[in-house]
Structure 1
Amino acid sequence: MTATVGHSRWLPFPDTEGGLRLYCLPHAGGSASAFRPWIGRIPGVSVLPVQYPGRETRLRETPHVDIPSLASELAEALLADAQDAPYAVYGHSFGALTAFEVLHVIRGLGGPMPSHLIVSGFSAPQSEDFADDAVTDEEIIALLRDLGGTPEQYLTDRRILKMIMPPLRADLTAKVAYRYMPRPELDVPILALGGIEDQQATYDSMRGWADQTTAGFGLHPLNGGHFAVLEQPEETLRVIAGALRRS
């Protein structure tokens, strides 16, 4: 797949709100629909949720099981979509790690860099432990219960589990296989959003993202746990909008 032909598959929900484009990368097992309610909510910003292969509108496609290949394809797709328009990249949890690698790919390609990298729900990659994570169905279900954000009926319905488990397992496999590589810091401001009750990516652990940029760092607390950004969209979007206005 080339980016010029296939980038629209990555961006299933168009938004013509404004000139600046905000690409939103979902959590492990997540889909573009997680950010669909954000569309049209930030004046002057086009919110563009990203769809990974293997879910929703791309259900028949094989999901990636390693972050480098996912980041490489997605970087080309975002560059093809943005062209000369200003843009920012936001990622939640697994999406934060993927977004980080996407920016390194874009820098390697010599492409225009985003105005901001916005992350939530994921500790700075240089301090994260990637080796120990859920891999069996039982461990994955237990992890989802611990994180919250997934209705209990989904976790006990075999038909629903059959749909959500393959992309979720693929994303977790990619995360476990990931190995952080020290590289020069990004010349892009980083804004981190941290749930003060998040037990997976603690608020204090989000401070480590400051070491990944030479262009300024901000950390904003949100009441709630791992999915605070989705559970409190008004506050989340207010903070993101403020950061983008300053870019």
Structure 2
Amino acid sequence: MSTASAWFPYRDSTSDFEVFAFPHAGAGSIAFSGLRQALAGTGVALVPAVLPGRERRLRETPHRDMDALLADFEQMAQADGFAAFQGDYALLGHCSGALIAFEIARILERSPCRDPHLLISCSCLPPTLIRDTGMSHLPTAELFSRTAATGGTPDALLADPGFVEMLERPLRADFVLFDGYAYRPAAKLATPILATRGPDDPDLSADELRVWQEQTTGGLSTMELGSGHWALTEAGTARLAKEIPAALYAGRGA
């Protein structure tokens, strides 16, 4: 069984808020290094999740099924008495990580812990609109070619055969998980949602972004940031680092 410290090894209990963040397909905690640094000194700590099959959990088998990932998370949280979620916190996900964050918010709202103050979805379709990307079935070269086109991984790294070999297992597993996702209707979240998209994202329109409203009674805010499908550009990160603390402190004072 995995542990809370395995999932979230970089916690900061001295902050006013912790934002538990789930990265895009194939990525690890380093994907959030810019946002983590940008939030320093705001009272909000970015706590990136380390999922199986990457970084210090490299030898673990990455999940290829959402139900299995959620069962692993819930078992971990129950064993820990939901201790990580008794304070003031939010959830954030980038691309496919936002789908994981949404499903984890559902778990936490029905569990003996505090509800999240906010769910932040960056560059992700609402769960009712998730469609098969076809990425999970692509040959290796085409998989990485299309991944490079999103701007999420530096070309220099993708030119390194050793890096490609290491990344392919979690990357492909994440796309299998995402493409196999089946939305199950349930009670709406009470947690408010902040949903973002790039102004020229070909995979997520402004109208589609607003469909996140169907998932919460807590209200939806939307914003455009980043470039294309990639939210965590330098400018996008800087804007998020202002928006997240403002939303969290305003919500706590409401």
- 2: distance between equivalents of 1:112 and 1:101? 16
> For this pair of structures, how many residues does the alignment match?
244
Structure 1 gap segments, 5+ residues each: none
Q: Which residue of 1 aligns with 2:247?
A: 243
Q: Does 1:213 align with 2:216?
A: yes
CA contact (8 A) 2:136 2:173 kept: no
Matches within 5 A, 1:138-157: 138-157=141-160
- 2: distance between equivalents of 1:103 and 1:75? 11
Q: Give aligned-pair identity as a percent.
A: 33
- 2: distance between equivalents of 1:43 and 1:93? 25
User: Please, which moves more after superposition, 31-40 or 179-188?
Assistant: 31-40
Q: Does 1:64 align with 2:70?
A: no
User: Please, which moves more after superposition, 164-173 or 130-139?
Assistant: 130-139
Task: Extract structure 1 runs of 4+ deviating beyond 4 A.
Answer: 75-79
Structure 2 gap segments, 5+ residues each: none
- 2: distance between equivalents of 1:45 and 1:77? 24
Matches within 5 A, 1:13-28: 13-28=10-25
Query: Following TM superposition, by how much is the alpha carbon of 1:245 offset from its aligned partner in structure 2, in angstroms?
Result: 1.4
- 2: distance between equivalents of 1:74 and 1:36? 23
Query: Which letter maps to 1:212?
Result: Q
User: Please, which moves more after superposition, 216-225 or 72-81?
Assistant: 72-81
CA contact (8 A) 1:126 1:180 kept: yes
Matches within 5 A, 1:38-57: 38-39=36-37, 40-41=39-40, 43-57=42-56
Q: Which residue of 2 aligns with 1:9?
A: 6
1:220 match: secondary structure:
strand
CA contact (8 A) 2:85 2:113 kept: no
Query: Following TM superposition, by how much is the alpha carbon of 1:16 offset from its aligned partner in structure 2, in angstroms?
Result: 4.2
- 2: distance between equivalents of 1:196 and 1:26? 20
Query: Which letter maps to 1:8?
Result: S
- Give the structure-2-normalised TM-score: 0.88
Matches within 5 A, 1:87-166: 87-130=89-132, 132-136=134-138, 137-166=140-169
- 2: distance between equivalents of 1:42 and 1:71? 32
Change (3 A) 1:165 1:222: same
Q: Which residue of 2 aligns with 1:197?
A: 200
Query: Following TM superposition, by how much is the alpha carbon of 1:42 offset from its aligned partner in structure 2, in angstroms?
Result: 5.3
- 2: distance between equivalents of 1:220 and 1:152? 28
1:109 match: secondary structure:
coil
User: Please, which moves more after superposition, 95-104 or 232-241?
Assistant: 232-241
CA contact (8 A) 1:17 1:43 kept: no
Query: Aligned Cα RMSD in Å?
Result: 2.0
Query: Which letter maps to 1:11?
Result: F
- 2: distance between equivalents of 1:36 and 1:59? 19
Q: Does 1:29 align with 2:32?
A: no
CA contact (8 A) 2:192 2:218 kept: yes
